[in-house]
Amino acid sequence: MNILELSGVNKSYGSFRAVDSLSFKMEKGTVFGLLGPNGAGKTTTIRMIMTIILPDSGDILLNGEKITMDSLNTIGYLPEERGLYPKMKVLDILMFFARLKGIDKETALKRTDYWLKRLELENWRMNKLQDLSKGMQQKIQFIATIINDPELIILDEPFTGLDPINTRTIKDIITEMKNRGKSIIFSTHIMEQVEKMCDHILLINKGRNILDGRLREVKRRFRENAFRVYLDEHGEIDFSSYGGVDHVKKKDGYLEVFLKNDEEIGEILSDIVKRHPVTRFEMYEPSLNDIFINVVEGKNE
Amino acid sequence: MNKILLILQREYLQIVKTKLFIISTLLTPVFMVAIMVIPMLLMQFRTGKPEKIAIVDNSDLMIYEELNEKLNSEEFKPGYEVHREEYNLYELPRGLEQLKNQVLSRELDGFLVIEKDILDTGSISYYSKNVSNINTQGNIKNIANEIIRIKRFRMLDLDIADEVLEKYLDPVSMQVIRVSKEGETVDKGQGFIISYIFVLLIYMTILMYGVSVLRGVIQEKSSRVIELIISNVKPFQLLMGKILGIGLVGLTQYAVWLVLGLLLMNNTDTLSGQLGFSPVEGGFDPSMIKIPFSVFAYFAIFFILGYFLYSTLYAAVGSMVDNEQEANNLQTPLIMFLVVPIIIMPMIMQNPDSLISVVLSLFPFFSPMLMFLRINVSQPPFYQILLSIGLMLASIVLCTWLVAKIYRVGILMYGKKANLKDIVRWIRYK
């Protein structure tokens, strides 16, 4: 079941095409990485999902239906540009946004208390937001995002400005939400940040969908039948005796071995390990960054 | 609808709970009372000391004696201490110098010079350090006038008693009576003052709360909270909630002032009694104000409509800029619209029913001030009042429609200054 589905969505600002016939589907209960460089159209896409701006053409469906003000209440949104009312009290801010999301007073109060405690901010509830540190304000903003216990959580560059400890806290909460069946969209240009969390990724560039698929499949697709061998200082391997080896690249401290196909990989590896002082070897998997650069530069498609 | 209410509530509480609002709401009436009371107190302080006045009378007509007698009468509460200085023709220039020095050293408050040919010239001179003391000047002038006019009649050798002459020479007084459907009221000029104050109040509060809306919009933009809000609320709902909320703050402030004002007026007598003075003639006596209920009703109507019209435009200005400095340029046309009625107010007051007054008062941006003014100083036909209200309502609907379109786009625009072309394009956006 798809929680979100975009088909043929376009948005232009004057002659600039911010989003160019973008289509994708997002499965319910998955973590979805919306990835791309700055200015790729990620925020514009999210703003169209949130109905902040309207697409010039195309459809956006939430649970198979057009998005309405009521269905927006089931989405939690952390905008890239953070900011709340600096002169309002923390408790009032959270209550205000909870109430805007259509949550009754009692539930809102209960959840506010829970999250403030969970993020160790309960002593600040009666303080004005501007009295809090930047990191604490970010946490308040995160609470405001999930205060409605949303089915779909959209996080636009969620970890910018957070220290490692807070980043881990937020990641833990996101994982927990995922385990509870929530769907999560990560939008970021820093791909390593979310590589380990995403089930599915969508790479966009210049407003266009350039790569879309389950993370594991994408990685497999871009794996180049290669492995890395780390040897002792003076170790040497003569690869000419291995018929399956296509070519070898000598790198600093290790060798990158490219195979003709992946069928003989087991044999070759075990043979090498038997005969040479190998300290470590690993399958070579390109990072999302590498994949992205490859795709954008048109090397692999 | 519920969301508008939530926005409204937030805007309202955010202002009403501030110390600034509470203090200014409570202190303004205190300030107003002070303006009324301080002149009374000042008048009171002067009673302690009679003014010292010297008179140089070269007329040989006993003018000094009569002046002295009249100035010492009970009528003048502060009182005058009058004495005569005599100089012959040769001594006169030096004598005047001496008297001037006495004035400068405050031995004298002033001195009066009556020339020999007074009956022909009809002119006397009063020297004083404080030329703005209108009371004393008026008193001396009136009394001298009376005495000299009688003396002139005496020259005609008529056989009429002084008292009779005095009676004949009494100046004519004129009462101004304002005719209205509610009945006749004697106007002692306070209607004029009240209208002025009320129109200024409308002007000031529209400006104040309009700028409040402007600031609110800019703050939401600059704190970047705007994106989160409009992912929950339609921009139009936000706009309405904000304008209604801040407008309600204005009405709250008026309600507090009205209650305090009514309490004060009902207790003026006891209040002045406790402070130990009575309202002074010519001073501002709050108890003589009887403001008909209709004035309050019209005030509320024109404030609300005016506020709505201007605050929507202020919201548009706020959405088009990134900070308050930038807003200053863009809000100039709005301030012009607000200030022009204040400038032409005296003209409208003089001729409230002339064609140009009628036309200007029907112009929706001027109506809150000018139509309200005309209602106060004359009796414009009811259809004109209705027409101005109708025109304002139509303008509000039109402005809100346009502004909602500008606002929707503007609040998400940063960095780039919007020009007219942009704004037209924003309005056309789907």
pLDDT tens string for chain B (430 positions)? 588 999 999 999 999 988 889 998 888 878 877 777 777 677 656 555 778 889 988 888 888 888 888 888 777 766 788 888 888 878 888 888 888 888 888 888 889 998 888 888 888 899 888 776 777 888 888 888 888 888 888 777 777 777 787 787 777 878 777 676 656 665 656 667 778 888 888 999 999 999 999 999 999 988 889 888 988 888 899 999 999 999 999 999 999 988 887 777 666 655 555 555 444 444 444 445 566 778 888 999 999 999 999 999 999 999 888 888 888 888 888 899 999 999 998 888 888 888 999 999 999 999 999 999 998 888 889 999 999 999 999 999 999 989 988 888 888 877 666 777 777 877 777 5
3-class secondary-structure state, position B144? helix
Tens of pLDDT, residue by residue over A61-74, are: 999 999 888 888 99
Please tell me the distance in Å from A155's CA to the nearest CA on chain B: 12
Q: Do B14 and A83 touch (CB under 8 A)?
A: no
Please report where in the chains the tokens 């990134």 appear, as a residue. Answer: B322
| Buried residues in B185-201 as b, exposed as e (16+ CB within 10 A) | eeeeebbeeebbebbee
Judge contact between B404 and B236, C-beta under 8 A: yes
Please give the sequence-ordered ranges of beta strands (E in DSSP) within A116-266, or none if there are none. 152-156, 183-188, 200-205, 208-214, 226-231, 245-250, 254-259
What's the burial of A61, exposed, middle or buried (CB within 10 Å: 0-12/13-18/19+)? middle
Among candidates A52, A83, A101 on the partner chain, residue whose Cβ is nearest the Cβ of B225:
A83
Name the residue with tokens 């002169």: A87
Q: Are the Cβ atoms of A99 and B229 closer than 8 angstroms? A: no
Q: Which helix (H) or strand (E) holds B363?
A: none
Do B228 and A77 lie within an 8 Å CB cutoff?
A: yes
Residues of A with CB under 8 A from a CB of B: 47, 50-54, 56, 69, 72-73, 75, 77, 79, 81-88, 96-97, 99-102, 141, 144
**Does A101 contact B223 at a Cβ distance shorter than 8 Å?**
no
> Model's pTM, two decimal places?
0.75
Answer whether B412 sits within 8 Å of A52, measured CB to CB. yes
pLDDT of residue B308: 94
Task: Measure A230 CA to nearest chain B CA, in Å.
Answer: 50
Q: Which residues of A touch B2 (CB under 8 A)?
A: 102
Per the CB < 8 A criterion, the answer to whether B63 and B57 are in contact is yes
ipTM of this complex prediction, to 2 decimal places: 0.80
Of B15, B41, B78, the residue nearest B275 (C-alpha): B41
What does the alpha-carbon distance between residue B120 and residue B143 come to, in Å, rounded to a whole number? 18
Q: How many helices (H) and strands (E) does chain B have?
A: 18, 6
Partners of A154 in the β-ladder: A77, A185
DSSP code at position B415:
S
Angle ∠(B270,B274,B278) on CA atoms, nearest 5: 75
